[in-house]
């Protein structure tokens, strides 16, 4: 398994620390983007949070009037907006609508040549800025994840959906032919998740405890990928039991690990190492691990593949 930060590599590379610095400078913020302590992990039992994730952090976005060039990222469905600063973006599944106050960028495509005397019409495509201070997955992509196991048409099981901030971007990635099954235990956060899903019909909100996948087995089909951000001491078991029920053989797993939620007395590196071993016990083969600095402190993302036998 590869450790460390990993390089962005390939098409659509963003240098992580340069990106973070330019984002903070452009937004005038030095805050980490976390609005204080969290009331337990998502996906398991905890106190609800009614507001979007990352309150108090930078919102991210392009300054008005500047020209922006959109380039496909190495991960299909993800893009980079090149302007005064580089920004990670996804193509808005519902143009004209924001989910959590994020910045949006409209790019006009020149009109094609006129056909049968018709007046050529330029088309506009809208993109949503994906702020890595408010999304572990975005932070991991910028940090250099070589594989996220989700693309247009994919089916994703998202454990720990909260109010749907990151889920909405995953919905953009998989597009109208894909599906996102978003599991959140908190009814308070779940209300925001359900409201978001009314506008993104490829999101299936599930307000249940991710420890008990049998409760939602009739709602979820076999998926290509599981993304987990539940921040519970038994997170590896939660991911494993959901993989046993819903993940295809060879399917991808992307897990965000918050060291303090697993064991607040041990060094973060030791916690990450133990969690990787627990994943192996659940028949998950870890392939890569990277930390999420400078976007999150004492967080890591582990990527792996599921081997049911």
pLDDT in tens, 75-101: 999 999 998 889 999 999 999 999 999
Q: Regarding beta strands 179-183 and 203-206, do their DSSP bridges make them parallel or antiparallel, or are they unpaired?
A: parallel
pLDDT for the residue numbered 62: 53
| Residue boundaries of the structural domains of the chain | 16-101+127-306
pLDDT at 253 > cutoff 80: yes
Closest CA to 98 of 144, 133, 131: 131
Q: Both tokens of residue 45? A: 């039992």
Q: Strand pairing partners for 113?
A: none
Cα 161 from Cα 205, distance rounded (Å)? 9
pLDDT for the residue numbered 58: 44
Q: Strand pairing partners for 22?
A: none
Higher pLDDT, 249 or 29: 249
Annotation: CATH topology of 16-101+127-306: Rossmann fold (3.40.50)
Q: Both tokens of residue 285? A: 């083969």
pLDDT in tens, 187-214: 999 999 999 999 999 999 999 999 999 9
pLDDT for the residue numbered 29: 39
pLDDT for the residue numbered 110: 73
Cα 221 from Cα 181, distance rounded (Å)? 9
Cα 238 from Cα 13, distance rounded (Å)? 32
pLDDT at 45 > cutoff 50: no
């Amino acid at each position: 398994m590869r450790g460390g930060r990993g390089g962005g590599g390939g098409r659509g590379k963003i240098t992580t620390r340069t990106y973070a610095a330019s984002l903070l400078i452009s937004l005038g913020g030095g805050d980490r983007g976390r609005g204080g302590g969290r009331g337990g992990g998502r996906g398991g039992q905890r106190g609800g949070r009614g507001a979007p994730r990352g309150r108090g952090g930078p919102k991210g976005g392009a300054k008005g009037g500047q020209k922006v060039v959109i380039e496909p990222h190495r991960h299909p469905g993800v893009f980079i907006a090149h302007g005064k600063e580089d920004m990670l973006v996804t193509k808005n599944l519902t143009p004209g609508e924001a989910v959590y106050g994020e910045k949006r960028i409209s790019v006009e495509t020149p009109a094609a040549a006129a056909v049968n005397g018709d007046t050529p019409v330029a088309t506009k495509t809208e993109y949503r800025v994906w702020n890595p201070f408010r999304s572990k997955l975005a932070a991991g992509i910028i940090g250099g994840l070589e594989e996220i196991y989700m693309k247009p048409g994919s089916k994703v099981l998202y454990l720990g959906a909260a109010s749907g901030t990151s889920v909405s971007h995953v919905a953009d990635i998989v597009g109208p032919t894909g599906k996102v099954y978003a599991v959140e235990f908190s009814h308070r956060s779940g209300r925001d998740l359900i409201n978001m899903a009314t506008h993104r019909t490829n999101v299936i909100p599930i307000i249940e405890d991710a420890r008990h996948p049998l409760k939602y087995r009739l709602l979820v089909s076999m998926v290509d990928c599981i993304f987990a951000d539940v921040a519970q001491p038994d997170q590896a078991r939660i991911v494993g039991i959901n993989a046993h029920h819903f993940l295809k053989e060879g399917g991808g797993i992307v897990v965000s690990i918050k060291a303090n939620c697993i064991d607040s007395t041990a060094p973060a590196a030791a916690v990450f190492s133990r969690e990787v071993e627990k994943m192996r016990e659940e028949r998950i083969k870890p392939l890569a691990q990277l930390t999420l600095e400078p976007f999150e402190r004492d967080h890591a993302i582990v990527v792996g593949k599921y081997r049911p036998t």
